[in-house]
Amino acid sequence: MTSEGAGTSGDARAPFDAARPYEKHPQVAIRPESFGALAYHYGNRRLVFLKAPALVTVVETLGDFPSAAAAVAAHVPDAQRETYCQALSGLLASDVIRARLPCWPGRCARRAGRVPSGR
């Protein structure tokens, strides 16, 4: 569902956990295409192909949900959810998405009134 450009990251990081909250990396720009989208990271200069429109929606709305699993559940049929979680794991490794701290009262006031969009 994703296809990375050249280059690999040699640093160690936590593995993807769908129960954790994530967000699109702020240095990533997403350009919609007929097949899904191109995601370009301005920091590491990686180009990643998002090969499904639903994956684009999940990536763009990750920050609106308490976990990656909740974002996937909101946009992806049950039978395809594991595949999308595997794709998100690859996007984490490519720095297209990044882990974010969980929200608790008083810390994420800007998110408190947000309703996930149906993009």
**pLDDT value of position 103:** 65
Longest dimension (CA), the chain: 41
Q: Token pair for residue 81?
A: 């959810």
107 CB-near residues (< 8 Å, 6+ apart)? 101
Note the pLDDT of residue 101. Answer: 79
pTM (2 decimals)? 0.77
pLDDT at residue 116 tops 80 = no
Query: What CA–CA distance (Å, rounded) separates 14 from 74?
Result: 24
Domain ranges of the chain: 19-97
Give the rounded percent of residues in the chain with a pLDDT score beyond 90: 72
Topology of the domain comprising 19-97 = Outer Surface Protein A; domain 3 (3.90.930)
Q: Is 5's pLDDT higher than 90?
A: no
Give 30's contacts (C-beta < 8 A, 6+ positions apart): 24, 37, 38, 39, 50, 56, 59, 60
